Structure formats: C-alpha cells, structure tokens
Chain A
C-alpha cells in the first residue's frame, strides 16, 4: 500500500493531477486555463499530460471555439481513483489514517 504510483509521483504530474482533482466530476478544463493555474510552460504541460493520458489517467477532448481549436482535459475515472489511492498511500506513509 505504501508504494507510490510512479505516474503521479513526479512534481509536475502531481500538481497536474491535484489540480484536475479539484474539478467536479463531469467538468473539463481548457488547456490554457490549466496552464495558468499551474504556471507551467505549454511544452512542459503537454509532455506530462501525454504521460498521464498514456496511463489512462487523463481524458483529452479536442474541441473548437469558433475556428480556434481548444483542448479540454479532465481526470478519467481511473485517474481520479489513482489520485485518491495515491493520496491515501501518502497519508499512510505519514502515519495518518485514511
């Protein structure tokens, strides 16, 4: 139980998943807004989002606002569960009850 999920356990991806976890289930956030909340460069954010997407933790939806393409992101069901498990494992390491 105290093995921390390596997909989440990296500072950038930890911050990304923590941010996406604040969204209510059923909501998605636009890439530029997520970037603003994280203070990351677009390239860095894309790289880490791809790793999360490859793990099946993040759903990526390409959309259009008028003619401008916008990418929307959200934690997938397994991503949300993985984040909750990660948080639980972290607290267990600290001796806090889940």
Chain B
C-alpha cells in the first residue's frame, strides 16, 4: 500500500479491508433507513392478522372453534388500527429525517397518498351506505378497499424507490384484497387476516433475515 496516500493518524488496511469498510458503512446507512420499514411491516402484519382474526371470531358465523363477543372484537380491531396509523406516521417521518432536496417531494407525496386515499375510500364507503349498501356488503367493501389501497400505494412506492419488497407486497395485497369478497362475510376477515397479515409478517421477517445476513 502506498504510504503517501494515507493519513498517518488514520491508517487504512489493505484494499480488501478498505472496500469492506466502505461497503459496511453504506450498508449501515441503508439499514438505518430500513429499520423503520421493518417495524411498519411488523406492526401492520400484527394488526391485519390479529385484528381481522378478532373480527372473524366476533361473528357467530365465523371462527368455528371459539367466539369473541363483538363488543370486544370490534374495539380490539379499532384500537389496533389507530395505534398502527399513529406508529406509521411516527416511523414514516423517521425514515428520511435530516434529508432535504429532490427526494423530499416524492416522499411527501407518498406520505400524503396514504391519508388522501384512506379518506377517499372512507367517504366512498359512507356514500355507498347512504345509498343503501347493506351492512353485510359494507363488511366486504371496507377491508377490501383498504387492502387494495395499500397494494396500490405499495406499487407506487416500489416504482419510486425501485423496491422489490414493496412490489411483491403490493401485488399480494391487490390479489388478496380483490379475492376477499368471494369468501363472503365473515369469511373475508379470515382471508384478509391470513393473506394480508401473513404477507406483511413474511415481508418483515424476510427483510430482517436478509439484513442480518448482510443482504
């Protein structure tokens, strides 16, 4: 190694060690960005999985093994949903904190799309109910609409950041959300718990394992 290329007080090892230091640092930066994403997938995985299993078990025609009173199942679902939304907002802000510039606009539009689409689907559902949509069909519409919303936005995220996990997750969510209505109510709750919740949990697990293996 050429001595005049080095600072005396900061010796660098051979080229292989230098390259490892460089790549290790870049991996650390990417990991720091990815940690909140893994948490988000985990949180939403638990919410879809436990929340919709609770709803399914809260319906007399649902879970054949045991039933949870609806006055317990519904609040459990709502509390988990609200907690997940709050956690996502907090984690979302952390992903790119301290950074400004060209990519901030993309990130802000991506963040806004969750709120905008979430509100639009809620208003559409309320409008449909006001026009006579039955509670049974509303039970099919709302969860499917939100699975489709998540799937669509994840496809947008995949395009923005060339992110494979969002691409796969988006496609699975679209497929499960679209198919869930065919199971009828409350069978759709089980389909969404397993399909959407499972997809989020697998995504969180896969990213965590790949991260531990150094990608």
Contacts and interface: CB of A to CB of B under 8 A. Distances in A.
Q: Which of A6, A12, A18, A72 has the most C-beta atoms of chain B within 10 angstroms of its own C-beta?
A: A18
B132 interface: no
Given A4-B5, A30-B99, A94 B16 contact: yes
Interface residues of B, number: 29
Contact of B99 (A11, A28, A38): A28
B19 A34 contact: no
A14 B15 contact: no
Interface in A52-94: 72, 74, 87, 90-91, 93-94
B25 A24 contact: no
A28 B2 contact: no
A46 to B, nearest CB: 16
A85 B128 CA distance: 60
Q: Which of B4, B29, B103 has the most C-beta atoms of chain A within 10 angstroms of its own C-beta?
A: B29
Given A9-B6, A10-B7, A25 B16 contact: no
Interface of B: 2, 4-7, 10-12, 15-16, 18-19, 21-23, 25-26, 28-30, 32, 97-104
30 contacts: A3-B5, A4-B2, A5-B5, A9-B7, A9-B18, A12-B10, A14-B18, A18-B25, A19-B25, A19-B26, A22-B26, A24-B102, A26-B101, A26-B102, A27-B100, A27-B101, A27-B103, A28-B100, A29-B98, A30-B98, A30-B99, A36-B98, A37-B28, A37-B29, A37-B32, A38-B25, A72-B100, A90-B22, A91-B19, A94-B16
* 5 A-B pairs with least C-beta separation: A33-B98, A26-B102, A27-B101, A10-B7, A30-B98
